[in-house]
Amino acid sequence: MDLIGGKCVRLTQGDFSRETIYSYDPLKTAKRFEAAGLNRLHMVDLDGARSGTPANLHVLKRVASGTSLNIDYGGGIKSETDVTAVFGAGASIVNIGSLAARQPEIFLGWVEKFGGDKMLLGADTKKGKVAIDGWQTDTKTPILAYLRKYAERGVNRAFVTDIASDGAMAGPSIKLYRKILGAVQEIDLIASGGVRSLDDIDELEKIGCAGVIIGRALYEQTIKLEDLAKYAG
pLDDT one digit per residue (tens) for the chain, 233 residues: 999 999 999 877 667 777 899 999 999 999 999 999 899 999 999 999 888 899 999 999 999 999 999 999 999 999 999 999 999 999 999 999 989 999 999 999 999 999 999 999 999 898 889 988 766 788 899 999 999 999 999 899 999 998 876 555 678 999 999 999 999 999 999 999 889 999 999 999 999 999 999 988 999 899 999 898 888 75
Q: What is the pLDDT of residue 13?
A: 64
Q: What is the pLDDT of residue 129?
A: 92
Q: What is the pLDDT of residue 113?
A: 95
211/172 Cα distance (integer angstroms)? 13
Using a 10 angstrom Cβ sphere, with 0-12 exposed, 13-18 middle and 19 or more buried, the burial of residue 40 is: middle
Cβ count near 113 (within 10 Å): 11
Q: Given 82, 124, 133, 166, which residue is catalytic? A: 124
Instruction: Evaluate whether the domain defined by 2-231 bears CATH number 3.20.20.70.
Output: yes
Specify whether 2 is catalytic.
yes
Q: What is the pLDDT of residue 136?
A: 72
127/33 Cα distance (integer angstroms)? 32
What residues form DSSP beta bridges with 11?
Answer: 19
Q: What is the pLDDT of residue 44?
A: 93
Specify whether 124 is catalytic.
yes
Q: What is the pLDDT of residue 180?
A: 96
Q: Given 2, 72, 162, 166, which residue is catalytic? A: 2
